[in-house]
Amino acid sequence: MEQVITGLNSITHPHLEVWDWTVAVYLFLGGLAAGLLVMSAVANLRNWPDDEEGPHCIKGALYAPLILAIGMIFIFLDLERKTNMYWFFLSFQTFSPMSWGAWGITITIPLSFLYGLSTVPAGKRNRMPFAFLKRWSVRLEPHMRKLAMINFGLGIFVGIYTGILLSAMLARPLWNSSILPVLFLNSAISTGAAFLIIVAHKSAVKLFYTKVDIWLIFSEIMIIMLFFYSQYTSTAAAKASAMPFFTLSHEYFFYFLSIMIVAILLPLALVLKLIEMQEDHAETLSSATIFRMNLSAIMVLIGGLIIRFAFIYAGQLSTFS
């Protein structure tokens, strides 16, 4: 069949070209911040053996609002009418995931900041820049556990939201899957744990996140496989939407490459972490151990970034039919 179409818009034909790398980076940073909140809350709420009650991962809570705010800058860059941004906050649209996200992130940034302040130990408060921050930190310290619980929930919300934002798009079969929010949430928490492995100082905390990340990477690999299986066994459009990842051609080379890299990086990071857990670690970790831990964590972070990029671009190749 020969087809001639008069009146095409380049933004939608031959395929959708509306969201670019800025959205992919936004989803990655949003997921990372969500993961940091969840993971630091888990660490701070956990009953550590032979240890007094207190914050165990202050960096996660402190980095999260900063990373989330940077992510917001990227989504701001994507807006075509930046001066109209205030309309996000003059209305709430029940069915729009983006509206939920705009409000949710607006609530999450200050609350995660307060959580971060509450985790700063008394001995480190003198490093804080402003006097009022020190005062707030002192006042918030007794509420650290409550703030950790709230931020755990907010982290889950933001992590899921980054996936629902895409899965609500009926017109794009690759995105329109209920598995996608689960995948993005899992990836978010996994990247959060990986980030904390890199920035944490205490060996017990590093080892804790390494142990947690083993399960997260394992489940992420399972979810990715299930996602593609469900696409393959679904409608023709859903099946076609997954094909760029499994077609070695000039046109789809980067999609094929992305799934190949993820398929190598995540299992490799998993193996490195499993090897790490086999060893008996001393109180202070050796530089070689720290290097291996950081290497596997970087692999997880790169994997998370590639997943966001691949899904953003590949989803726009797919159309409902």
Partner 1 sequence: MPKYVMVIDQARCVGCMACIVSCKNENDVPPDHFRTRVIENVSGKFPKLRMELRSELCNHCDHPPCVYNCPTGASYKNKENGMVLLKKNRCVGCKACIAACPYDARYIHPEHGYADKCTFCSHRVEKGLEPACVKTCIGTSRIFGDIENPDSEVSLLLRDNYSYALKSSAGTDPRVFYINRITKPE
Determine, following the binding rule CB under 8 A, whether residue 168 of this chain makes contact with partner 1: yes
Q: Name the one range near partner 1 by CB under 8 A: 32-40, 78-86, 111-119, 126-134.
A: 78-86
Contact criterion met (CB below 8 Å) for 167 and 312:
no
Indicate the angle between helix axes 131-140 and 97-119, nearest 10 degrees: 90
Q: Which is nearer to partner 1, 45 or 79 (CB)?
A: 79
Determine, following the binding rule CB under 8 A, whether residue 236 of this chain makes contact with partner 1: no
User: What is the DSSP-derived secondary structure letter of residue 1?
Assistant: -
Determine, following the binding rule CB under 8 A, whether residue 233 of this chain makes contact with partner 1: no
Indicate the angle between helix axes 179-199 and 144-167, nearest 10 degrees: 140
Q: Which member of 85, 225, 248, 271 binds partner 1 (CB under 8 A)?
A: 85
Q: Which member of 102, 194, 293, 314 binds partner 1 (CB under 8 A)?
A: 102
Contact criterion met (CB below 8 Å) for 4 and 289:
no
Applying CB under 8 A, what is the total number of residues that bind partner 1? 44
Determine, following the binding rule CB under 8 A, whether residue 11 of this chain makes contact with partner 1: yes
Q: Name the one range near partner 1 by CB under 8 A: 3-11, 215-223, 255-263, 289-297.
A: 3-11
Residue 246 amino acid letter = F
Smallest gap from Cβ 169 to partner 1, in A, equals: 5
* The pair of three-digit structure tokens given for residue 58, joined into one six-digit string: 């202050």
* Among candidate residues 40, 23, 172, the one with its CA nearest the CA of residue 119: 40
Q: How far apart are CA 140 and CA 175, in angstroms?
A: 40
Q: Which member of 88, 157, 208, 311 binds partner 1 (CB under 8 A)?
A: 88
Cβ partners under 8 Å of residue 100, min gap 6:
161, 164
Residues near partner 1 (CB under 8 A) are: 1-13, 16, 18-19, 78-82, 84-85, 87-88, 90-91, 93, 95-99, 101-102, 168-172, 316, 319-321
